[in-house]
Each structure stands twice: as C-alpha cells, then as structure tokens.
C-alpha cells in the first residue's frame, strides 16, 4: 500500500503541480501526490471531509475572504472550504498547472441517486469546465460512477465529453444542453479552435479489483490532455488498460487445498477453506498470466498490491461498540448487523463489495461481512457463519487508504467519506500514467 504523503524519488517525474476539486477525504489527492504531483489548491464542500484533509496534514485552511497562497516546496497547500461555484481559480492562470483532478458529485448519475442527470442541481461538471478555462491545465483526471454510461444517460455523457474537448465554448445561461451540444458538434472539427484551447479526451470503464484494489468497484475515469502537448494517446490508453489482476487468477490460486492463496492464508480454518473451494468451478479457467484479485481477507491481514505487508487487523469479536482493540485507529465494533434477502454480506475470500456512503444498512449489505466463526443452528437466516459490521479501519483498508489516515467526524461521516472516495491504488495507476505521458510529450527524445 502506498504512503499518504510520499515524496517523489530521485529519477521520478519532474516536479509537477495539481489542483484538486471535490477533494472529499483525499483518496484521489493522495493518489496524485504519490504519483509525484505537488498540490496547489484543494476545494471541498463537506465540513467533515475538510476536517479530514486538515487533520491529516494534507492541507491548511484558508480564512474566509482571503486569497489562497501559492504553496512553496514543503508548505501545505491551501484548502478553500465551501461551494466550488464561489471559488475563483483565475489566480492560478500563470502557474502552469499540470493536472486538474476531482470527482464531481455523482448523485445525479448514480443508480442509488435521484438520477435526474443534467437537471440535478448537484451536477458539478460545469464547474470542472470553468476551472479548465481559468487555469488551462495540461491534463484532467475525473472519476465518477458507472451510471454515466447507462443508456438513459448516454447522450448527456457524450455531451460532457464534448464539453471537455472544447471547454472554452462556454454554454450560455439561456441555452439547453441539447442546443449547446449541437454547437459543439459543429465546432469540433473547426481548425480555428487553437490546440491550447481544446483537449483530447478518453474515458475508461474500470473495475477497481482489476487494478489491485480488494473491492469490486465499477467506475468510469475520464482523462483529457491539452491538444497542443501532442501526447501519445495510444500509449497512454495501453498503459491504463493493461490490468495486472484478475478473477481467473484468484480462482486458480484457490482451487487446490495447497494453492498459493491458502499458503498465504495458512491459518484459515479448514472448514472455511473447504466451503470456499466447494463453490469454485470444477475445471479452473486457463491461466491468463495475471495476479489474483485481492480479497477482503488479503486487505485485513495486510497483503498489499505492491507486495508489502501491513499489520494484521485483529478480529476481536467486533460486534459491540465497546470492543476497541488497542493500537488500531477507528477499529471499533458496531452492533446489530443483519442479513436478509437482497442484503447479503461480504465474504472474506472474495474482493469486498462496493463501499458505499452509509454508516450501515446501505442497500445490498455492503458494510456487513461474514467471519470465520461458525454459527449455531438458530443463527439468523440459517447462515453458516456469524456476521458483523465492518469497522471504519477495515473499510479504509478496502479503499486502500493508508492506516495513518484518520477520517474526521462520527462513524456515519467517516463511512460517507470512504464511500465517496477514489481508492488510492486505482487513482495512482491513472495519475502515474498521466505523469509518464506528460514527461514523454515534453521530452520526446
């Protein structure tokens, strides 16, 4: 797992800068920093998420009414709390910003949200386009829910991509998005559109598990490069599409009692191992040459995507609030977890289900997990194994946040920050690929 505030190593990418909007608890920001970018500005609306950024020494608060400072090397970047619509970013116009990153609020496009799309007042994509106009970054990284790709939203999503391609063609207050889209279509091929005012845009449907995150998390990541840089887009696409992890490899590592997975987890009870193997295909898929998907068990015992090991998080029968193992921040039990039809738990020997922004009771049972402890015959729902809620620290492991990251606020706010975040490991794959693409474009020799 990567460090929250890793400094660029000798021989890495040159000093590059970033601006982070909709920063949340800092998942994408950590990823961008770990890839060697120095943050110039944070913005976030949610109070507890802002507290998290400051408490973890990622940013320093800007007093109301003051202009954010330009951070020097080693100085904390400024955090402007509040509505991005009130944020003036024009002071960064001459700072040669390399990356604008952020995940605009996803509720308008989520299956779990109101799904009003562009008519939803929470749609903040227009603020990303305004930020581009004000600072002309070399690249943009945007993460959002896979709901953007639903057929009902497909026309609007294509409009978003065209807006990102021509962000300086600002939509008037009087025009509908359909009218503005027609204008953009007519100007896409206009040679008078200077390359420094247009972007080459690509989007990537991803499953975080394919990138080493111990979680099934389907998202769409949009990346854009300023056209005048002549970035090798094909090379960039190849670098982020070439995933290293797969379900096939996980199955193959498990099908035999002496498989690599069980060697790594030699203390798993035999009844658990046998139960897992009994539900696998009798004839395992052909080897695809990839690494096994990481599982929830991998995350909890500290097996990281980069091969490093973290301390194991103790089980400690965490089904009560008063169970607080010493030495583990935010590792606190929570009572009354339930399982029922449509609300099924995570299993230790699979990647976790998608972390969602809810303290408990979120649709699908995403915050509940089975344990290795056998249940009695009278256990709820006839389940084979006892279950409980996941702790905040366990959920942070699933989102690949470092253990030293401490979210602010009560449990509900902490889980909300995690559910809304970008897994650090996933974000870092794309941030490093962007840095490499910029390096090659600026130093073609």
Backbone angles phi, psi at 26, to 5 degrees: 105, 15
Q: How far is CA 117 from CA 109, 113, 124, in A?
A: 6, 10, 11
Say which of 50, 106, 142, 304 is annotated catalytic. Answer: 106
How big is the chain by its Cα radius of gyration, in Å? 23
The side-by-side arrangement of strands in the sheet containing 60-61 is: 60-61, 78-81, 37-44, 16-21, 99-102, 139-145, 218-226, 199-207
Q: Which residue in 245, 217, 265 sits closest to 399, CA to CA?
A: 217
Is 304 a known active-site residue? no
Q: Nearest CA to 204 among 223, 221, 225?
A: 221
Cβ-count burial of 238 within 10 angstroms (0-12 exposed, 13-18 middle, 19+ buried)?
Answer: exposed
- 139: closest CA among 66, 37, 43, 50? 37
**Residues comprising the chain, all counted:** 445
Residues 6+ apart with CB under 8 A from 63: none
Please provide residue 51's backbone torsions phi and psi, each rounded to the nearest 5 degrees: -60, -40
| CB distance 406 to 430 below 8 Å | no
Q: Kindly state the tokens that stand for 112.
A: 């779990």
* Strand-pair partners of 309: 303
Helices (H) and strands (E) in the chain, counts: 13, 12
Q: Which residues contact 247 (CB under 8 A, 6 or more apart)?
A: 209, 293
**123 vs 258: CA distance, rounded Å:** 51
Under 8 Å between Cβ of 111 and 147:
yes
Q: Which residue has the tokens 């975040």?
A: 421
Residues β-bridged to residue 207 = 218
* Residue 17 near residue 95, CB atoms below 8 Å: yes
Q: Which positions are annotated as active-site residues?
A: 106
């Amino acid at each position: 797992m990567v460090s929250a505030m890793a400094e660029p190593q000798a021989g890495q990418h040159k000093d590059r800068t970033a601006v982070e909007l909709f920063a949340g608890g800092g998942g994408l920001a950590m990823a961008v920093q770990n890839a060697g970018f120095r943050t110039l500005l944070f913005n976030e609306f949610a109070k507890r998420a802002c507290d998290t950024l400051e408490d973890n020494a990622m940013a320093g608060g800007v007093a109301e009414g003051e202009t954010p400072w330009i951070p020097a090397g080693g100085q904390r970047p400024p955090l402007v709390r509040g509505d991005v619509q009130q944020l003036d970013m024009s002071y960064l116009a001459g700072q040669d910003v390399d990356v604008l990153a952020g995940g605009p609020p996803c509720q308008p496009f989520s299956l779990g949200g109101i799904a009003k799309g562009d008519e939803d007042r929470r749609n903040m994509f227009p603020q990303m386009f305004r930020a581009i106009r004000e600072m002309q970054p070399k690249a943009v990284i945007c993460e959002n829910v896979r709901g953007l790709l639903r057929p009902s939203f497909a026309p609007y999503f294509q409009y978003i991509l065209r807006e990102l391609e021509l962000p300086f063609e600002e939509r008037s207050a009087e025009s509908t998005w359909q009218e503005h889209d027609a204008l953009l279509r007519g100007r896409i091929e206009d040679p008078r559109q200077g390359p420094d005012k247009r972007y080459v845009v690509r989007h990537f449907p991803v499953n975080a598990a394919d990138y080493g995150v111990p979680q099934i998390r389907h998202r769409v990541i949009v990346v854009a490069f300023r056209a005048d840089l002549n970035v090798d887009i094909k090379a960039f696409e190849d670098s982020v599409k070439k995933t290293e992890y797969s379900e096939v490899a996980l199955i193959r590592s498990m099908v035999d009692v002496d498989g690599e997975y069980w060697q790594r987890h030699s203390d798993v009870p035999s009844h658990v191992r046998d139960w897992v193997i009994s539900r696998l295909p009798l004839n395992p898929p052909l080897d695809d040459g990839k690494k096994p998907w990481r599982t929830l068990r991998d995350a909890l015992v500290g097996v990281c995507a980069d091969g490093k090991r973290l301390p194991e998080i103790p089980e400690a029968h965490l089904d009560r609030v008063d169970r607080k193992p010493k030495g583990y921040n935010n590792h606190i039990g929570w009572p009354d977890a339930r399982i029922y039809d449509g609300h099924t738990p995570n299993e230790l020997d699979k990647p976790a289900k998608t972390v969602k922004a809810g303290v408990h009771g979120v649709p699908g049972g995403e915050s509940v997990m089975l344990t290795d402890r056998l249940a009695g015959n009278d256990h709820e729902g006839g389940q084979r194994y006892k279950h409980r809620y996941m702790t905040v620290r366990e959920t942070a492991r699933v989102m690949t946040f470092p253990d030293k990251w401490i979210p602010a606020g009560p449990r509900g706010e902490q889980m909300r920050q995690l559910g809304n975040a970008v897994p650090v490991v996933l974000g870092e794959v794309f941030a490093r690929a962007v840095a490499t693409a910029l390096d090659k474009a600026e130093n073609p020799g």
